[in-house]
Amino acid sequence: MSASVSVANGAPARTDPGTALDFGQTATLPSNAFSAGGSLALFTVTGITPAENVPDTVTHGGAPYFIYVTVTSLAARPAAAPGLVGLAGSPDGRTAALTLTPTGGLPACTDTPIPERMKRGESYATCLLALADPGQKLQQVIYWADTTGDDAFDYKASPVAWRNPAAVPSGSPTTSTAG
Domain ranges of the chain: 14-163
Supply the pTM of this predicted model: 0.86
Does domain 14-163 bear CATH number 2.60.40.1170? no
Pair type for strands 26-30 and 40-50: antiparallel
DSSP state letters, the chain: ------PPSS-PPPPPTT-EEETT-EEEEESSTT-TTS-EEEEEEEEEEE--S--HHHHTTPEEEEEEEEEEE--SS-EEPP--TTEEEESSSSSPPEEEPPPS--TTS--PPPPSEE-TT-EEEEEEEEEEPTT----EEEE--B-SS-GGGBTTTS-EEEE-GGGSPTTSPPPPPP-
- Identify any residues that bridge with 65 across adjacent strands, giving them in sequence order: 50, 130
Identify the pLDDT of residue 103.
76
Instruction: Tell me the backbone φ, ψ of residue 153, rounded to 5 degrees.
Output: -125, 35
Gap between the Cα atoms of 47 and 95, Å rounded? 17
Whether 31 and 14 have beta carbons less than 8 Å apart is answered as no
pLDDT tens, position by position, 5-29: 666 677 788 999 999 999 999 999 9
pLDDT tens, position by position, 43-92: 999 999 999 989 988 898 999 999 999 999 999 899 999 999 999 999 99
CA-nearest of 121, 85, 118 to 5 is 121
pLDDT tens, position by position, 79-135: 999 999 999 999 999 999 999 988 777 888 876 788 999 999 999 999 999 999 989
